[in-house]
């Protein structure tokens, strides 16, 4: 069992404490890191459809856009590598930064990493909004990418470690809620700035300064997580934070489990090498697969390019931005549904239900486009039916693969590989986000309506993967997660069940603590007498 903890006959335990107002407030502030990520996702589609912006930085794209306006195929209007590079460059930078942010989260803490994210965002906003030359724009995008890499590394971990296990799902999804609010906010801003005679794009890019300041303040004011404090030897501060966030004095049992996890983590000198070991296979495979699948739902085809997509459906530019706002609002509301039900219905149920809903909606969109879009014209009522179907699709993503793609990886890795695991999660996500951003418009041009069937086919694969290989993790304490693998029909062959050890050692299950040595050699067992709560300092 990774990270240690008492396992009584395989039962999952609960620590004393309640969900305090303090922990909720702290999690809300931390989650604001997601606002920035969301704003970046949502803003680029609108900005790149503004003629003044194109004329300044991408004159060739503007000329092509005007020439193609009169062309036959609606699907190829915006197919341009440079334009896509503006959107995608941020994610390449985020990808690279993740490996630095993994180091800072482990050695300097979650809070410090959020602070770096905040500063990178602030400078990124200054460079992009004030850009005179394309080089300034690129530097700005790279800095914003650093911010996204650092924030996406630190915030989900922060939330999962702060939250009581009973509400970990809901509190962690605050991150995704912030992402969706950021996207909606960006589409509202684009809707307003598009009407400005001059410098609309600058205003769009400058308003990102608001969430940037918010996360910077968060990085300055929040306490770090008890897990991270223990990991850095600050035991007394960790106890104090635990008392405040759990609202009880009796925190020794939870503290001890964190301490055992931390001792074990400390002996792991090379977390990235460790993560490749056989016993970490389930976490690694699931986290990477979740990221690949999350992006191959095709969600960012909509999030990045909704205004462009709606223009393809024959809408005018204002109606397109307006429709993007509707989709953004549905995204936020459906994420609230996830918060309400994730700790009740569980992760698996949501993932599976969403696959069915996404598959049906995507297939229907493909049929409508195939039948309705002739040249650049489509009957208006069909355009609106497509908007409704896109909302059906986005809502199912928003209560499942969106939030759970971040929640599940942040809760399944043991402390010893948690930072490295999160880095791999974020970077895998960024690779595929980059890919979709870079190729979607070209794929739309090549596949036409078939693009939606392409994504629908991936949804079938995700359904099967979830059904067979993703176990339920609802309500299980974060440092107890290995129990899940030891009981799983497939993953148990990678993670041995502690009972086998209990049997061979002759110590009854209820009298033992299990934890793994950092040298990678399976599980050590000692009697509970040696590890009474509070015995470890
Ligand atoms: C994904 C983003 C996506 C967003 C949409 C997030 O979970 O990682 O790529 O744009 O959800 O709400």
Helix (H) or strand (E) holding 370: helix 347-372
Closest residue by CA, ligand 1 atom 6 = 402
- Are 401 and 293 in contact, with CB atoms under 8 Å apart? yes
Nearest to 339 by CA among 407, 434, 388: 407
Higher-confidence position of 4 and 470:
470
Alpha carbon of 46 to ligand 1 centroid (Å): 17
| CA–CA separation, 274 and 276 (whole Å) | 5
**What is the reported pLDDT for 73?**
57
Alpha-carbon torsion 268, 273, 279, 284, what sign? positive
- Are 429 and 295 in contact, with CB atoms under 8 Å apart? yes
Which residue among 34, 36, 38 is best mutated to probe the pocket of ligand 1, counting the most ligand atoms within 8 A of its Cβ?
38
Alpha carbon of 212 to ligand 1 centroid (Å): 18
**What is the reported pLDDT for 12?**
54
Q: Which residues line ligand 1 (CB under 6 A)?
A: 41, 176, 179-180, 183, 294, 299-300, 303, 331, 402, 405-406, 429, 433
Neighbours of 161 (CB within 10 A): 23
Please compute the mean of the pLDDT values over residues 141-165 and round it to a whole number. Answer: 91
- Are 279 and 494 in contact, with CB atoms under 8 Å apart? yes
Alpha carbon of 303 to ligand 1 centroid (Å): 8
pLDDT above 90: residue 425:
yes
**What is the reported pLDDT for 376?**
65
Return the ligand 1 atom nearest residue 179 CA. Answer: 12
Q: Which two tokens stand for residue 255?
A: 């503290």
Range from 152-161, 304-313, 389-398 carrying the lowest mean pLDDT: 304-313
CA Rg, the chain, in Å? 24
Please compute the mean of the pLDDT values over residues 168-177 and round it to a whole number. Answer: 89
Alpha carbon of 487 to ligand 1 centroid (Å): 31
Which residue among 41, 45, 88 is best mutated to probe the pocket of ligand 1, counting the most ligand atoms within 8 A of its Cβ?
41
Range from 194-208, 224-238, 473-487 carrying the lowest mean pLDDT: 473-487
In sequence order, what DSSP letters do the residues of 423-434 get, joined into one string?
Answer: HHHHHHHHHHHH
pLDDT above 90: residue 88:
no
pLDDT above 50: residue 10:
no
526 three-state secondary structure = strand
**CATH 3.40.50.1100, applies to 24-486:** no
Alpha-carbon dihedral angle through residues 40, 45, 46, 50, given to the nearest 10 degrees:
120
| CA–CA separation, 86 and 128 (whole Å) | 11
Residue 51 CB contacts under 8 Å (≥ 6 apart), including other chains: 62
pLDDT above 70: residue 55:
yes
pLDDT band at 520 (very low <50, low <70, confident <90, very high): very low
**What is the reported pLDDT for 149?**
93
Tell me which range, 81-95, 229-243, 301-315, is most confidently predicted by mean pLDDT: 229-243
Residue 54 CB contacts under 8 Å (≥ 6 apart), including other chains: 48, 61, 62, 65, 83
User: Could you report how far apart the first and last alpha carbons of the chain are, in Å?
Assistant: 21
Write out pLDDT tens, residues 180-223.
999 999 989 988 898 888 999 999 999 999 989 988 988 898 99
Question: Could you tell me if residue 528 is left (phi over 0), alpha (psi between -120 and 50 degrees) or otherwise beta?
Answer: alpha
Domain residue ranges in the chain = 24-486
pLDDT band at 519 (very low <50, low <70, confident <90, very high): very low
Instruction: Write down the pTM of the prediction.
Output: 0.83
pLDDT band at 64 (very low <50, low <70, confident <90, very high): confident
Please compute the mean of the pLDDT values over residues 429-456 and round it to a whole number. Answer: 87
Mean pLDDT of the chain: 83
**What is the reported pLDDT for 510?**
54
% helix / strand / coil in the chain, to the nearest 5?
Answer: 75, 5, 20
């Amino acid at each position: 069992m990774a990270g240690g903890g008492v396992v009584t006959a395989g039962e999952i335990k609960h620590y004393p404490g309640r969900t305090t107002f303090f922990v909720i407030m702290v999690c809300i502030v931390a989650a604001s890191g997601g606002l920035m990520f969301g704003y970046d996702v949502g803003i680029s589609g609108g900005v790149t459809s503004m003629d003044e912006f194109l004329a300044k930085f991408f004159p060739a794209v503007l000329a092509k856009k005007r020439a193609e306006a009169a062309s036959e195929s609606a699907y190829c209007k915006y197919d341009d590598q440079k334009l896509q590079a503006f959107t995608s460059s941020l994610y390449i930078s985020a990808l690279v930064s993740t490996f630095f942010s993994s180091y800072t989260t482990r050695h300097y803490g979650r809070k410090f990493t959020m602070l770096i994210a905040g500063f990178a965002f602030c400078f990124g906003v200054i460079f992009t909004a004030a850009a005179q030359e394309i080089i300034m724009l690129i530097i700005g995008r790279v800095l914003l990418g650093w911010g996204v890499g650092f924030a996406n590394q630190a915030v989900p971990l922060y939330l999962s470690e702060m939250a009581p296990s009973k509400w970990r799902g809901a509190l962690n999804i605050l991150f995704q809620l912030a992402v969706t609010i950021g996207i909606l906010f960006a589409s509202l801003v684009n809707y307003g700035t598009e009407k400005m005679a001059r410098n609309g794009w600058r205003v769009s890019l400058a308003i990102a300064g608001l969430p940037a300041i918010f996360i910077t303040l968060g990085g300055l004011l929040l306490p770090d997580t008890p897990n991270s404090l223990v990991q850095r030897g600050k035991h007394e501060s960790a106890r104090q934070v635990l008392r405040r966030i759990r609202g009880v004095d009796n925190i020794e049992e939870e503290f001890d489990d964190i301490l055992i996890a931390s001792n074990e983590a400390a002996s792991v000198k090379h977390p990235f090498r460790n993560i490749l070991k056989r016993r970490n296979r389930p976490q690694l495979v699931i986290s990477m697969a979740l990221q690949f699948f999350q992006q191959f739902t095709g969600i960012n085809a909509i999030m990045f390019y909704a205004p462009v997509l709606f223009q393809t459906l024959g809408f005018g530019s204002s109606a397109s931005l307006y429709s993007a706002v509707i989709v953004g609002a549905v995204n936020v509301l459906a994420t609230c549904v996830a918060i309400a039900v994730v700790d009740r219905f569980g992760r698996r149920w949501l993932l599976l239900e969403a696959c069915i809903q996404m598959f049906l909606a995507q297939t229907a969109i493909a049929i409508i486009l195939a039948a309705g879009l002739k040249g650049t014209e489509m009957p208006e009522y069909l355009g609106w039916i497509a908007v409704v179907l896109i909302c059906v699709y986005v809502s199912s993503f928003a209560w499942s693969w969106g939030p759970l793609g971040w929640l599940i990886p942040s809760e399944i890795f043991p402390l010893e590989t948690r930072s490295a695991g999160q880095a791999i999660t974020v970077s895998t996500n960024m690779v595929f986000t980059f890919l979709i951003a870079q190729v979607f418009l070209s794929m739309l041009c090549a596949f036409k309506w078939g693009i939606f069937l392409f994504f629908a086919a991936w949804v079938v694969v995700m359904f099967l993967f979830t059904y067979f290989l993703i176990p339920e993790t609802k309500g299980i304490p974060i440092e107890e997660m290995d129990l899940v693998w030891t009981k799983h029909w497939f993953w148990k062959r990678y993670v041995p069940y502690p009972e086998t050890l209990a049997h061979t050692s002759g110590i009854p299950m209820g009298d033992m603590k299990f934890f793994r040595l950092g040298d990678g050699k399976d599980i050590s067992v000692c009697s509970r007498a040696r590890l009474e709560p509070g015995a470890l300092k």
